[in-house]
Copies of this chain bind each other. A is one copy, B any other.
Amino acid sequence: MTGIALMGAGRMGQVHAAAIVEAGARLAAIYDPVTAAAEGLAARTGARVASTAAEAMGDAAADAIVIATSSDTHVDLVLEAVKTGKPVLCEKPLASSYAAARKCVAAIGETAARRVFLGFNRRYDHGHASVRQAVHGGAVGRLEQLIITSRDPFPPPLDYVPRSGGLFRDMMIHDFDMARAITRQDFVSVTAHGSSIIDPEIGRLGDIDTAAVTLVAADGTIVTIHNSRRCAFGFDQRLEAFGSTGMVISDNPRQSGFQRFTNENPGTQAPILEFFMERYGPSYAAEIRLFLDCAREGRDMPVNAIDGLMAAYLAEAATASRKQGKTIELTGPDQEFANV
């Protein structure tokens, strides 16, 4: 049974802890700067509490490392974890800025970066994964248009906005990764538009709450991403992949097959799933299972720190595009856009 050293016993730490147990692995050691949190989780799982991250990572019973602490600690912990030579899963984002992500990858080198699993959990959502597999399997022929919709049920607290890095880095990061995962293309340009029409206060803090981004791939495929920080009817998470021989869609799943027909509402359906744990809960379990499989086999991680860097690069470029009011030509992280 694979033993795991878990960094972080907060909300995401607990999500991963449950997924680890469900996947048949066990928690060997837990570290959290808030000792009480670590102890609480340890009591429920039989793990031991380590007093430093390094101690937890070095635990002899820990065969792999999962990092689920706050975003600003990811880079340091990844650097520490890589030193152990053990397989590592790091929650998204890799770093709280693109510059930090570049430094991190540069520091550990590309080979090690490909051994760090990056937690873009939406890739494992049942519907979204079906779209990706269908596209890669040729179900739509040659892919021509990809439309990604991500809308949160409600905006984050206002005091979070200034330290979020902005909508493109904080929220659309998932969609940039999804665009890469489905198209398997390099993008040649990004054009971003945004408004703060949900809450003007968000605008005064320099951010936006509504956005549309267009990515053009090297082969002409056009990707459009729609984001909104607030959605009245739940957690709106959809994909549409259109190609030469058809289209595949990942629509919002519903809580049940309940429907109601009345004179006024001839066909009301059950609510869509409400927020990320309801919609994406099963995707965390699938993610851990994939990580454990790769760890056991000593493989490169299929989704790794390089993917984290690339998503951060697109987020950075989108931020620049909106600020400069123009299309940004993309040349890759090495010859990156100037003056962002």
Say yes or no for A248: interface residue by CB 8 A criterion. Answer: yes
- Whole-angstrom distance between the Cβ of A279 and the nearest chain B Cβ: 10
Say yes or no for A271: interface residue by CB 8 A criterion. Answer: yes
A254–B127 Cα gap in the complex (Å)?
Answer: 10
- Structural contact, B258 and A131, CB atoms closer than 8 A: yes
- Contacts of A233 on B, CB cut-off 8 Å? 246-247, 261-263, 266
Q: Which residue of B lies closest to A130 (CB)?
A: B258
Say yes or no for A269: interface residue by CB 8 A criterion. Answer: yes
Instruction: Mark the stretch among A76-84, A208-216, A301-309 that contacts chain B.
Output: A208-216
Binary CB contact string for chain A from 206 to 246 against chain B (1 if under 8 A, 0 otherwise): 00001110101001111010101011111010100010111
Instruction: Mark the stretch among A111-119, A143-151, A169-177, A288-296 that contacts chain B.
Output: A143-151
- Contacts of A221 on B, CB cut-off 8 Å? 195, 197
Say yes or no for A97: interface residue by CB 8 A criterion. Answer: no
A287–B266 Cα gap in the complex (Å)?
Answer: 27
- Contacts of A231 on B, CB cut-off 8 Å? 242, 247
* Tier of interface size on chain A: 35 or more
- Contacts of A134 on B, CB cut-off 8 Å? 258, 260
- Whole-angstrom distance between the Cβ of A214 and the nearest chain B Cβ: 5
- For A214, give its contact among B191, B245, B253 (CB under 8 Å): B191
A291–B250 Cα gap in the complex (Å)?
Answer: 37
- Whole-angstrom distance between the Cβ of A20 and the nearest chain B Cβ: 16
A337–B210 Cα gap in the complex (Å)?
Answer: 26
- Whole-angstrom distance between the Cβ of A40 and the nearest chain B Cβ: 15
- Contacts of A258 on B, CB cut-off 8 Å? 126-127, 130-131, 134, 248-251
Among residues 11 to 62 in chain A, which have CB atoms less than 8 Å away from a CB atom of chain B?
none
- For A247, give its contact among B126, B219, B260, B327 (CB under 8 Å): B260
Say yes or no for A71: interface residue by CB 8 A criterion. Answer: no
- Can you list the 8 inter-chain pairs with the closest CB atoms, starting with the nearest? A195-B220, A251-B257, A127-B256, A267-B269, A246-B262, A126-B256, A130-B258, A233-B261
Contacts A139-B260, A145-B228 supplied; 13 other A-B pairs, CB < 8 Å: A127-B258, A142-B197, A144-B195, A195-B221, A197-B221, A224-B224, A245-B263, A246-B261, A246-B263, A249-B259, A250-B256, A252-B257, A268-B269
Interface residues of A, Cβ cutoff 8 Å to B: 125-127, 130-131, 134, 139, 141-142, 144-145, 147, 151, 189, 191, 193-198, 210-212, 214, 216, 219-222, 224, 226, 228, 230-234, 236, 238, 242, 244-263, 265-272, 325-327
